Structure formats: C-alpha cells, structure tokens
Amino acid sequence: MTEILVVTSGKGGVGKTTTSASIACGLARRGKKVAVIDFDVGLRNLDLIMGCERRVVYDFVNVTHGEASLKQALIKDKRFDTLFVLAASQTRDKDALTKEGVEKVLKDLADDGFDYVVCDSPAGIEKGAFLAMYFADQAIVVVNPEVSSVRDSDRILGLLDSKTRRAENGETLKANLLLTRYNPERVDGGEMLSIKDVEEVLGLKTIGVIPESGDVLNASNKGEPVILDMESNAGLAYDDAVARLLGEDKPMRFTTFEKKGFFSKLFGG
C-alpha cells in the first residue's frame, strides 16, 4: 500500500518545502521507498532544497502531458537509493496540472511499489494546493506559532475536511500539526504561542515541533535537507517527527526553556 502524504499550510514561508524534503529523506533513511513531488507549478524550489536542481531534465507537467515517462522524470537521490524527486514545472500556465494527470502519476507510483508519496503543496488555496491535497491519505499541516499562520492552517483544515477524495468518499483524512520556528524562550516569556495554545485553537495533535534554528538556512544553502544534520536540534526534531509518523511513541525534545540562574540574570548573560 502506498501512503500519500500532503505537506500543506495555507500561508507561505512557514517551512512546507523544508518539511517535505526532511520527511522524505527521513522516511527513505528508514528504508522506505519514497517519492517527493513539488506541486508548486511556476515556482519550483524543492529541487534546490533537495540539492538536485542541476539534474532536472523532465518535470511533473512533462509527465502528465506525456512528453516524458515517469521513470525519466524521477530524479534519483544521491544519498538514498530509495528516494526520488519529481520537480515542478517552471511553466507559467497554472492550469498545466489536472486532477486526472495527478491521479495517473500517483497510481503509477503505487504500481511501482512506492511506500510513500510526499506531496509538497504550494502556498495559498488555489489549484496547485487543491491538487496536492486531493488524493492524500494523511496531511501534515505546517504551522508557525504566529496568528496569521494559525488562522490560515484552520482554513486548510476546513478544505482537508471537505475538498479531498477521502472527504468526498466519507472517509477520514488524518491531519497532524507540525510546528516550525518554535522558540521555547519566547514561549516561556509569554511572547509566543505554545504548542498547547496552537493545539487548543486548532483542535489537532502535534506530530513534531521544530525549534527555530540557523541550521535550517545552512541546510538549504547546501541543498542537504536539515534532517541529515544529526548534530542539529532541528534535524533531530524532524527525525523524531518521522518516527512518530511511523507509529513510534517519542516524547517532544527541544521544547522547553532552561531558565538562567539568578546571577546570570542579574549581570546579563
């Protein structure tokens, strides 16, 4: 059985592509056969985050239009034998993707024995975002602990509940929250929404909390998904999220702030 995951958020810039790349790598590292697909037609970026931008020959739209085979368009990852990237088209035609075209590609991936297909959704609630979520079995809603991101996530949750194939068939689609850019110190100071706050407002459970970290930018600079950096808290937090996705029970890490002692407070730290 192939499990189709959508990584979505509504709001842009919250870490969908970073999350898609890391989740896909994490699953592949655990031996799963994974395809990660960029649905952001016109604004291709997953290839950069995955570090395979110079190896894109054919893209998603080429496949749905029959200009290339799926096999030709899938870019094999250099680090994991079971990981493949399908790049978005850089065409300006937003209608280049169709429901039927996407369905065909997903079916071919299932026939090819893929365990997971990770769909990296574009921001917004337009066609690309709709197609990325339509066939999903499970959703990862990426959210920053910040008002506009939380509100947009709720909007996306409404669409996941109504505009997906599972919803139309009366089946449930499991949605998980993944908090990114979490800053325990600011949460401790009452300046940032806590995990519990976001869970309460959205009525969903969290599958991972990624601490705010400079390692994320360093990782994207290098084209190496941050989950591969096992010395980084953000990388470890992503690996925990992948473990939870696979059913493991792991406590959250890097989510509490160690208060400074009296003296360091008094004299500045």
Partner 1 sequence: MGLFDFLKTKKNTASIAKERLRIIVAQERSHRGAPDYLPLLQRELLEVIRKYVSIDVDAVKVDLVKDGEHDVLDISVALPDERASAA
Of the candidates 253, 236, 149, 247, which has an alpha carbon nearest to the alpha carbon of residue 198?
A: 149
Q: Where are the alpha helices (DSSP H) in the chain?
A: 16-29, 46-50, 60-64, 70-73, 99-111, 127-134, 147-160, 165-168, 184-188, 195-202, 214-222, 233-245, 262-267
Does 191 engage in binding with partner 1 (CB under 8 A)? yes
In this structure, what token pair is assigned to residue 48? 């950069």
In this structure, what token pair is assigned to residue 108? 């071919």
Please choose, out of 49-57, 110-118, 195-203, 233-241, the segment that lies near partner 1 by the rule CB under 8 A: 195-203
In this structure, what token pair is assigned to residue 197? 């706050």
Does 194 engage in binding with partner 1 (CB under 8 A)? yes
Query: Looking at beta carbons only, is 147 or 246 nearer to partner 1?
Result: 147
For residue 183, the minimal CB distance to partner 1 (Å) is: 11
* DSSP structural state of residue 229: -
Does 265 engage in binding with partner 1 (CB under 8 A)? yes
How far apart are alpha carbons 16 and 132 in whole angstroms? Answer: 12
Q: Which of residues 161-190 bind partner 1 (CB under 8 A)?
A: 162, 187, 189-190
For residue 62, the minimal CB distance to partner 1 (Å) is: 36
Q: Which amino acid is at 101?
A: G
Q: Please identify which residue in 76, 79, 94, 155 interacts with partner 1, judged by CB under 8 A.
A: 155
To the nearest 10 degrees (0 to 180), the angle between helices 127-134 and 147-160 is 60
How far apart are alpha carbons 200 and 183 in whole angstroms? Answer: 18
Does 150 engage in binding with partner 1 (CB under 8 A)? yes
Query: Looking at beta carbons only, is 76 or 155 nearer to partner 1?
Result: 155
Does 129 engage in binding with partner 1 (CB under 8 A)? no
Does 125 engage in binding with partner 1 (CB under 8 A)? no
Does 230 engage in binding with partner 1 (CB under 8 A)? no
Query: Looking at beta carbons only, is 71 or 205 nearer to partner 1?
Result: 205
Does 266 engage in binding with partner 1 (CB under 8 A)? yes
Place of tokens 């066939």: 135
Does 12 engage in binding with partner 1 (CB under 8 A)? no
Positions touching partner 1 (CB under 8 A) are: 146-147, 150-151, 154-155, 158, 162, 187, 189-194, 197, 200-202, 265-269
